[in-house]
Structure 1
Amino acid sequence: MRPSGSDLRLLQVFDAVVRHGGFSAAEGELNLSQSTISNHMAALEDRLGVVLCRRGRGGFQLTEDGRAVHEAATRLHGALHDFSADVGAVQGKISGELRIGILDAVADDEATRLPEVLAEFHETAGDVKVLLAQEAAQDLQQKVRDGTYHCGIGVDISPVDGLDAFPLHTETHSLYCGRTHPLFNLPADDIGRAALLELPFVKRGYWCTEKSRQNVFRNVAATVLQIEPQLLLIRSGHYVGYLPDHYAERWCIKGELRRFELAEFMYSAQFYLFTARDNRNSGVITTLINSVKSVWQKP
């Protein structure tokens, strides 16, 4: 299939439908009626020869083919923006789109310098459209590698070939419990290591074996893939688990969380700027990398 202009429009409709989770929910963004969206989707399915989604009483649901087509369409969308940036570079302009993936629960970390980076980047490349998206830790590196994002700021979950990693800052994590947990008001001297290891524990589903803390705790009672769900489970009072100290601090001040100040139950996570090694460094990417290195290396 060689996409034409009309094909690109159909793919844009498809992308909006996927992002909004249905035809009616996408009406506002597309400024099209539900029946027109349905006709566009039928035309795209006919063009591709596959069923992209199921719609009915059970609601909107992507098929496996639909999921694969949407991923390909996302890469195509990124490639078109990159083409625009390349043409702008020929004209002596820094333009196009910059796509950055970041992890959740990082905005209140004083160690992150991303706001300063974005400010410096805007001074140099104010015409560039910035897409800043929250991404799951387990997916961030691969999505930088496949071009979904131009770069990512996160932790090194597992090795991904073809990425460069520039070290940024470290994030400290400690063990916490909620206000209604049985250990919340217990004196520190009365809390032993053995007792902690038997408590219902919230693990991070993306931890690699060598980095995993759930191997220490014998009673893994819940699993999360992001920080905010972990906070909710810990605040329920039924679990202990790790949280970034900067993220948990305000909840400790409010009396909703207790931090266990035991060195063996603390660890540090190194944050990196990830970029694809074999990508041609466009003006947009080069400007962003220079801004990151300039800002993060300042005192």
Structure 2
Amino acid sequence: MTPSANNLKPVPPLTEADLKLLRIFRAVAEAGGLTAAEEALNIERSTISRHLQNLEARLGEKLCFRGPAGFQLTMFGESVLRASSLADDTLKKIRDDLNDARNILAGDLTIGIADNCLSNSGSKVSEALAAFRSIAPDVTVHLSIHQHDSLLAHMLDRQLHIGISGMPETNRQLQSVPLFNEAFRLYVALPFGQPAPAMAELIEQNYVLVTRDRDPYSSRLSQRLNMKRKAVASGLEAVATLIAAGGYVGLLPTHYVQTLSQFYCFVEVADAQAFAYEVTFSLLSLRGHPLPPSGQRFMRLLLTLMHQDAAGGFSLQAAS
């Protein structure tokens, strides 16, 4: 029960110990509960519970409900979560500014990318990471692979500094810079040397259409082809695995097919040019939340490499 206004006491001056408790509370809130936060914090559940009780005693009000019914923040807990995020971000910015004043890059840099960027010759992410490592050896890079909706959620939750995605982004909270293109074609797997089939043949032979989970392009293809039999894949490798099994047809990036050509014979459907398309991969960052110096430097490196590649060549030394 929330104390009445007459019984409320002001929050005391916060100490370094309070900041530690606020960080623990933030981790619990973002994880969605004490059990889920155990691994992230590397602290036993009983200890986390005791820290939350201490923080509630310090602040004078309940922060969350926790128990068999689940975990839920109180209204005051929501306010404390926003305040703890602001405090953490402010301390990080102070540290970054002090390091920047000494021309030092340090701390953590979190980057999320779509799957299979590595096999796209237009992507210079690996080259940018190589150049970044040489100029920022004290920065810990956290690189993760995501589907677009997951990447978007992590960006908006500020768990990622930078995102690289091929889905069109209209969210006003994000700003994007185009990087490179990726071409998709409709493929089947056939024995080596067998001619490419036409779409009508595939339908007659009861081929199964592979759609990618939460992918608007394959969803539209499904509507256009109106094939009765369908399979749903999560991620490009799942799409390719189904196609490689035979009897399936689906959309894959041309560069990804080339990397698999020594193992499987993926053949583009003969009369499926109308279903071909390209997507533009973009560099995403959150509006209103300036990147740390390490993030700004990585973005400059990547964009420089992309520009140099478009001009006919690049060098890591120049990009650095």
Task: Place the TM-score, normalised by the shorter chain, in its bin.
Answer: 0.7 to 0.9
Partner of 1:224: 233
Cα distance, 1:280–1:16 mapped onto 2, change above 3 Å: closer
Partner of 2:250: 241
RMSD: 4.0
Equivalent residues in 2 for 1:99-178 (5 A)? 99-178=110-189
Deviations 1:94-132 (A, max 9, x none): 222211110112222222111111122223322222111
Residue 298 of structure 2 corresponds to residue 288 of structure 1: yes
CA contact (8 A) 1:104 1:135 kept: yes
Unaligned runs of 5+ in 1: 55-61
> CA–CA distance in 1 between the matches of 2:155 and 2:210?
28
Deviations 1:126-182 (A, max 9, x none): 2222111112212323433442211111113441113222111111112222458xx
Moved more, 267-276 or 220-229: 220-229
Partner of 1:39: 46
Q: What letter corresponds to residue 165 of structure 1 in structure 2? A: S
> CA–CA distance in 1 between the matches of 2:293 and 2:208?
50
> CA–CA distance in 1 between the matches of 2:259 and 2:296?
37
Partner of 2:209: 201
Moved more, 232-241 or 201-210: 201-210
Unaligned runs of 5+ in 2: 1-10, 57-62, 313-320
What secondary structure is seen at the aligned counterpart in 1 of 2:225? coil
Partner of 1:257: 266
CA contact (8 A) 1:89 1:282 kept: no
> CA–CA distance in 2 between the matches of 1:115 and 1:237?
33
Cα distance, 1:223–1:288 mapped onto 2, change above 3 Å: same
Cα distance, 1:38–1:282 mapped onto 2, change above 3 Å: closer
Partner of 1:57: none
In the TM superposition, residue 186 of structure 1 has moved relative to its aligned partner by 5.7
Q: What letter corresponds to residue 224 of structure 1 in structure 2? A: A
What secondary structure is seen at the aligned counterpart in 2 of 1:93? coil
CA contact (8 A) 2:65 2:72 kept: no
Q: What letter corresponds to residue 214 of structure 1 in structure 2? A: S
> CA–CA distance in 1 between the matches of 2:87 and 2:113?
20
Deviations 1:186-207 (A, max 9, x none): 633xx33334467421112323
Equivalent residues in 2 for 1:27-66 (5 A)? 30=42, 37-43=44-50, 46=53, 48-51=63-66
The count of residues paired between Structure 1 and Structure 2 equals 276
Partner of 1:212: 220
Cα distance, 1:83–1:135 mapped onto 2, change above 3 Å: farther
TM-score (norm 1): 0.73
TM-score (norm 2): 0.69
Moved more, 116-125 or 287-296: 116-125
- Find 1:297's aligned residue among 307, 312, 316: 307
Tell me which structure has the larger Cα radius of gyration: 2
Percent identity over the alignment?
20
